[in-house]
Structures are given as structure tokens and as C-alpha cells.
Amino acid sequence: MATLLYRLGKTAYRRWPLVLAVWMVALIGVGTVAATMSQPMSDQFSIPGIPSEKATDLQQELFPGSGNAIDEASVSIVVAAPEGRTLAEQPYAGRISTLLDGLRSVPQMPEEPPVGPVEAAAAMEKRIVDMAVQSAQNSGGDAAAVAAARQTAEKNAAAVSPLSPDGRVGTIDFAFNVATTTDVEAGTREQVLDLVKTARGDGLQVEVTGAGMAAGPGGEEEGGVSVELIGIAIALLVLAFTFGSLVAAGLPILTAGLGVGLGVTGITAMTAFVTLDSSTPLLATMIGLGVGIDYALFILARYRNELEHTEDRAEAIGVAVGTAGSAVVFAGLTVVIALAALSLTGVPFLAAMGWGAAATVIIAVLVALTLLPAVLGIFKSKAFAGRFRRYTPARDKSGQVVNNGVRWARLVGRAPIAFAALVVVALGLIAIPSTRLHLAFPSDSTAPTDTTQRKAADLVNDAFGEGRLAPMLTVIDGRGVPAAQRPAAYQQIVQWASGHEDVANAQLGGMNEDGTGALVLITPVHGPEDTSTEKLLDNLRDTQADIETSTGTSIGITGLTAIQTDVSQRLAEALPLYLGVVIGLAFLILMVVFRSILVPLTATLGFLLSVMATLGATVTMFQEGTFGLFPGQPIISFIPIFLIGLVFGLAMDYQVFLVTRIREAHVHGASYREAVVDGFRNSARVVTAAALIMTAVFGGFMFMGEPVIQSMGFALAVAVLFDAFVVRMCLIPALMYLMGERAWWLPRWLDRILPNIDVEGQSLNRPHLTDHYRDSDREAGADTQPVRA
């Protein structure tokens, strides 16, 4: 492979006009398809196979035209009078009336205009009570039965009433007339927010919440663009410091940006042929930009290093692509595996994001191998122009650079056991809180305290109980029950649901026209993010078979809370399989790359250690709210699997970048100690720069106002910090010292089976390396004593 990539790099450098033309044709072609044939991306949140999805399908079969809890663009405006006053009094009633008049003119409103909480509560109570009384009378009940039915109906009406028992807090509930939440226009939300602000006054508090008021993915979250720009600015600073050249600092940003642009445009173009989720470009942009910068940085740094040994720039870039490019290919392959394997979760939107990001990584690899050498062919001697700092490191007697990477490697070599033990113990202690990990989806109750969504949720929780925001819907299929027995069967199911612990109320929510289906609304005691609500859902499903047998019906439980809980469980169940496949395939690839069993094993164990420590730190900071920096709340369900996928790819990048240089020195004659030092001499600076860029980019998201984004940014930044600077820079060299020559042990039968791909460029003609290590070995004690390794 090294020879093939060597030729590719030289050809791209010398024939840069042709390479640029090919990339330009690709960009224009993909852009044309995207502009002329692309279709809107989908926002259907469908998770095939989960119980709540099946219940939703049953609901739509029995109740055609009924909405989907995920897609419904619901809005709830919460109004609250001052303590001791009611919403029926003036001036509060007048302000609510003005608010309702304004809402009628808002675009995308439902055909039936919303009603104030006082009027809606009275109408709802009358309807529920009248239906219950009528049903009791029709069934021949006496006066006591009718009175009991009335009392139960009044209790049920109070449980779902939009007006609090004291009349002080109420909700104005409606759903925008759109297919999905992402169809709600920004102008529509802005008008609602303006009306809410205008309605406040005279002591009336008005807040708004609901899925219909949330911005679509990636487009309108406040601060998103500024965070990206800050990340790019930090990357430029790190690259400028690394190369001491303004031109060289801009090259990785330029090529990575072009690669990401082509990748995202390609994703848009693919909508002409397949349906993709609207969140697909998000991960592609994040990971594509990160690895694109890393790969270009690694090859560019190797190119500068090779210029010390030859004045032939084409030869230098050929060697750089042949060696560093080989590492880039296999580093990219591990990232692609980690991302593509997201399809194993069974969650379509995660699979789409994974495949889209994987395609972007492949483009980033191709850009680094071909477009970067072509750009260097354009700049030639000006590639490192604009110098503001000249790199003049100290050198030893043989002329080799003695930089901080060398000094650090020698320091670790003095006490490798101590360094390895310190890393394992420290990360192990940090990982302990991960055993208390609680996964859930975010809710308005966990939003920042200064947002209108959180204020609305707090008002509802205080006035109606936490369970009001976590309703569940039981869908009953009564087609197998004789018509005369259906009402009794439906009431039996209501009683079954009411009998469960942590159920505040259960009531019949309605039947379809022919009576073959019914809905039972269940209001839990606790909120959607509470573990008690999750246990309630499990208990309902555990006893579901018994009530189905006794009534002859088929039932399913759905609703937003049930769907989110099922998704969380699906992700948790998929995590071991995902982890096993990713680590297993990557282990095989690393075994081919390094021709070793122990090196891939230590790389994998180090990654697991860093991930567990990251989860522990995230639980400590966000779930438990330690130090008071962030409010305590559950960790969003897909963070662990995203964390594993992204960080595994980046970790293997750093592993490949470091250890390929160690192996390269080893195959050219260096002793194991000298090889470790030489690997850090040539790669530590580059890996440090790459890790700093990724840490800064991810860490920037912690300054956004949304806790979900903050927790993701924190987890990714800490993971890169732990893996790059603790595991790869401390643990791996310590283990390499301890393993010695045994690090490259490989059974003979396996050595014959594995293909020899020559990642370290052993087949390339570079006599200066062999001569250097042969001369170094002749120096007395130069590389045999631990302190002077």
C-alpha cells in the first residue's frame, strides 16, 4: 500500500491541474444533482419494532387520521394569575381573551381556534359528566349508580382539566396544522412568542411550551453558527502555532472545508434516490470537519519532516502520502466502521446519520490523499510561507530532533509501571459514577431555568402534578369482542390501569365510531424523566397479557413518554452488540496494520477505559449536578452510543498516528525503546494539535444554553482529552516500554494469513532511516539505558 500511495501522492503533486479538475467536476456534478433533483428530507421519527410504535400503528388503524405523538406540533400556553386570584377575574380574563384573538391570526393554526382554560375546563367537565351519566342511565343503573358515575366523571374531568383546582393556573392547548414539527415555520413561532410577551402584565404570567415551539434540527438553535466559527478559529490558531506558518495553517482548514462541503452536498443529492432524515447532515459536518483537519494535518506535518531529508518536493509528498497516508487510510477505515455500525441500533435516524458521516469521512480521506498534494503542487515552495515563528528545535549528537515529545517519552520510560498504574487508577476512579448512569430523553422540566419552556413546565408541575407532562395512551383493539361486551371490557381495562402503583388517573378517552376501538388515558404520578414512570410502563406491559386474556382484547401503550422510553431501551440493548462489532472489526484492522496482537489489544482496552471515565465524569457533572455548574438531569439516551462511535474513531486515529511511527522506526532497525522515543519525536506534536482542535471545538458547545448540547459537548471534549492526552500519551507508551519486543509478537500461522500492507513504508527507498538507526545503535549506550532512551 505504501508504494501505491507514494505514487498517488507524487502524481497528484505533479499533475495538480488534472486532480483539481477531477475534484471540480465531482463538486459541480454532485451540486447539480443536489440543486435540481434533491427532495425534502424526512422528519418522521419511526422506530420499527418498538412496542409504542406498534401501538401507534394500531391507533391509526382503529382511529384513522389520529396524530402521532412524535410528529404532532403541539403547543401549550400556560397562564397563571397571582397568588390568591383566579383566571376568571379581571384583568386576567381580558388579557387571555386578547391573546386568543391574536392567536387566530397566526399562520398554521388549526381550523378550530383554541379556547381559554376557564371556558375549556367547563365544557370538558360538562361533556365528561354528561357522557358518564347517560351511560349509567342507559345501562339501567339506579340513582346510586348514576351518582357514583357522576362522582367518578368529575374526578376524571379534574384529572385532565386545563384549569387548576384553585382556578389560578390554566393551559391553552392546540397543535399547529402541519404534518410534522419541523414543518412549523420560524415566523409562526415568533408570532406566538410575541403574543405571549404582549399578554404578560398586571401580574399575569404567560409561558409557552410544546414540541411545536421547538426549532428544527441544526437550523435555528441559538449560538450554533457562532460555536462553529469559534471552533474553526481555534483550529487556525492551533495549526498556526504548530507550523509557525499562516499558509500552512490554512491548508488543512481549506481542504477539510471542501471535503465537508462535498460530503454534505452529496447527502443532499442522495435524497433524489433515497429518503434521508433531516438530521443526517449534522453528524457529517461535525465529524467530517474534525477528521478532515486531522488527516490533512498529519500528512502536511509528515511532508515538512520529509523536506529535511530531500530537496525534491514531489519525492517528499510521495513519501508523506505513502507513509502518513497509509495511516490515514486505516484510521479513516476505523472511523467509517464506527459510524456505519450505528445502523445496528435499529434506529433509522441514527443509521442515516452514521452512513452520511461515514461517506463524508471517506471523502475526507480521499481529499487528504489527492487534493492536499495537488494544492501543495500549486504552492510549491510557498506552502510554508507567511512564517511568524521559525521552528528550530534542539538536536542531539546524531542530528535528531530533541523536542517535548522526546522528553516526555523518555520521562515515561523512566517509570513505565508507575505511569500505567496511575492512569488506570485515576481513570478507574473517575469511571465509578458511570454505574449510576440514567438514560432518558430531555423534557421541558429539565430545560434551563430561564427559558419559557422550563417556566411553563414548572407551573404545570406545581398546579397539576408532574404526571400531567408524562401522559400515556392505551390503545384497545376490541374487534375480537362481541359488541355488547365491549363497554364492560373497556372499563375493565380502565380499572386494570388504575390499579397500578404510580398511576394518578386512568380514564376512557374515547371510542371510535363502530365501537371496535377505544383509548384509555393514563396520567402517572411522576414526570417523564423519573425512573418511577419508566417502571410504571414496564409494570403495565408485564401485566398486559393477563388483561388481554381476561377481556379478549389486544392493547398497546404509546404516547410521547412511552416512545421515548422504548427508544432509550432500544439504544441500551443495542449498545453491547454495537460495541462488540466495532471493537472486533477495528481489532482485526489494527492487527493487520501493526502485525501484532498486543498493540491492538492495548489500544482497545485503553479506549474502553477512556470511555468509561468520560461517562463517569458526565454523570458526575450533569446527572448528579456536582459542583452546581449544571442542573441535575438524566443523560440523553443516545449520548453513550454517539460517544462510543465518535470517540472510538478519533481514538484509533491517534493510536494509528502514534504507533505507526513507532513501528516504522522499529522495522527500520530501531530498538524498542528508541522506536517509542522516535514515534513521539515525530507524532506527539501533531497528535497534540489534533486533539486540542477537537477538544476546543467540542468544548465550545458547553457555552450554549441548551443542557442537551452542553452535555454532548462536555462528554466529547472530555473523551478526547482523556483518550488523547491520558491514554495515548501516557498509558500506551508505558505499555509499549513494558512489552518491549513482545509488543510485535504475532503467531507464525497468523503472520502467514494476514496480508502485508506495509503501512510504515518499509518498501520505500529511504536509506537515511536505516543508516541512522544502525549508527545510533553503535553509540555507546545511546538507546539501551532507560534514562537515555
Reported as a single tens digit per residue, the pLDDT across 636-690 is 887 888 788 777 877 888 888 888 888 878 877 788 888 899 889 888 888 898 8
Q: What is the pLDDT of residues 141-153, one digit of tens each?
A: 788 888 988 999 8
- The mean pLDDT of the chain is 85
Whole-angstrom distance, CA of residue 662 vs CA of residue 568: 42
The backbone region for 646, taken as left when phi is positive above 0, alpha when psi lies in -120 to 50, beta otherwise, is alpha
- Tell me if residue 177 falls in helix, strand or coil: coil
Query: Using one digit for the tens of pLDDT, what is the confidence trace for 709-730?
Result: 778 888 888 998 999 999 999 9
- Which grid cell is 247? 499558509
pLDDT at residue 190 greater than cutoff 90? yes
pLDDT at 306 over 80: yes
Report yes or no: 308 and 360 within 8 Å, Cβ to Cβ: no
Q: End-to-end CA distance of the chain, in Å?
A: 31
Q: What is the pLDDT of residues 490-501, one digit of tens each?
A: 999 999 999 999
Burial letters 274-283, b for 16+ CB under 10 A, else e: eebbbbbbbb
How many Cβ atoms sit within 10 Å of the Cβ of residue 750?
11
787 compared with 47, residue with greater pLDDT:
47
Task: State how beta strands 74-80 and 169-175 pair.
Answer: antiparallel
Are 455 and 468 in contact, with CB atoms under 8 Å apart? no
- The pLDDT value recorded for residue 170 is 95
- pLDDT of 48: 75
Q: Which fold has domain 1-38+227-388?
A: Multidrug efflux transporter AcrB transmembrane fold (1.20.1640)
pLDDT confidence bin for 760, thresholds 50/70/90: low
Task: Find out whether 172 and 114 touch, Cβ atoms under 8 Å.
Answer: yes
Burial class (CB in 10 A: 0-12, 13-18, 19+), 748: exposed
Q: Is pLDDT of 194 > 90? A: yes
Would you say residue 244 has pLDDT above 60?
yes
For CATH 1.20.1640.10, list the domain ranges present in the chain.
1-38+227-388, 400-441+569-778
Instruction: Please state the rounded mean pLDDT for residues 363-381.
Output: 93
Q: What's residue 218's pLDDT?
A: 42
Q: pTM, whole model, 2 decimals?
A: 0.78
User: Residue 781: its pLDDT value, please?
Assistant: 40
**400-441+569-778 sits in which CATH class?**
mainly alpha
Range with the largest mean pLDDT of 91-95, 133-137, 308-312: 91-95
Residues in Cβ contact with 71 at an 8 Å cutoff, skipping those fewer than 6 apart: 43, 44, 45, 179, 180, 181
Burial call 642-664: b when 16+ CB within 10 Å, e when fewer: bbbbbbbbbbbbbbbbbbbbbbb
Q: What is the pLDDT of residue 771?
A: 53
Upper half-sphere CA count for residue 273 (Cβ side, 13 Å): 7
From the list 196, 118, 164, the residue with the least C-alpha distance to 461 is: 164
* Per-residue pLDDT tens digits for 540-584: 999 999 999 999 999 999 988 898 888 888 888 888 888 888 888
Task: Kindly state the percentage of the chain with pLDDT values over 70.
Answer: 92
Look at residue 421 in the predicted model and tell me its pLDDT.
96
Contact between 343 and 325 (Cβ < 8 Å): no
* pLDDT above 90: percentage of residues in the chain: 40
Q: How far apart, in whole angstroms, are the C-alpha atoms of residue 171 and residue 302?
A: 64
Evaluate whether 78 touches 460 at the Cβ level (below 8 Å).
yes
CA 193 to mean position of chain CA atoms: 29
Q: For the purposes of burial, counting CB atoms within 10 Å of the CB of 741, is it exposed (0-12), middle (13-18) or buried (19 or more)?
A: exposed
**Which three cell numbers, joined as nine digits, stand for 305?**
519532516
- The 10s digit of each residue's pLDDT in 386-397 is 887 776 777 777
Question: Would you say residue 761 has pLDDT above 60?
Answer: no
Question: Which residue did the predictor score with more confidence, 247 or 218?
Answer: 247
Do the beta carbons of residue 723 and residue 730 sit within 8 Å?
no
Specify the range with the lowest mean pLDDT, choosing from 104-108, 305-309, 618-622, 671-675. 305-309
**Per-residue confidence band for 789, with pLDDT thresholds at 50, 70 and 90:** very low
Count how many Cα atoms sit within 13 Å of the Cα of residue 620 in the half-sphere of its side chain.
14
Task: Check whether 225 has a pLDDT greater than 70.
Answer: no
Top-confidence range, 39-53, 180-194, 492-506: 492-506
Has residue 217 got a pLDDT over 60? no
Does residue 80 register a pLDDT over 60? yes
- Angle at which helix 732-739 crosses helix 639-667, to 10 degrees, equals 40
Q: If you average pLDDT over residues 615-641, what whole number do you get?
A: 82
Which of 131-135, 164-168, 785-789 comes out lowest in average pLDDT?
785-789
Segment holding 170, helix H or strand E: strand 169-175
Q: Which residues, in sequence order, are CB contacts of 653 under 8 Å at separation 6+?
A: 291, 294, 331, 334, 335, 690
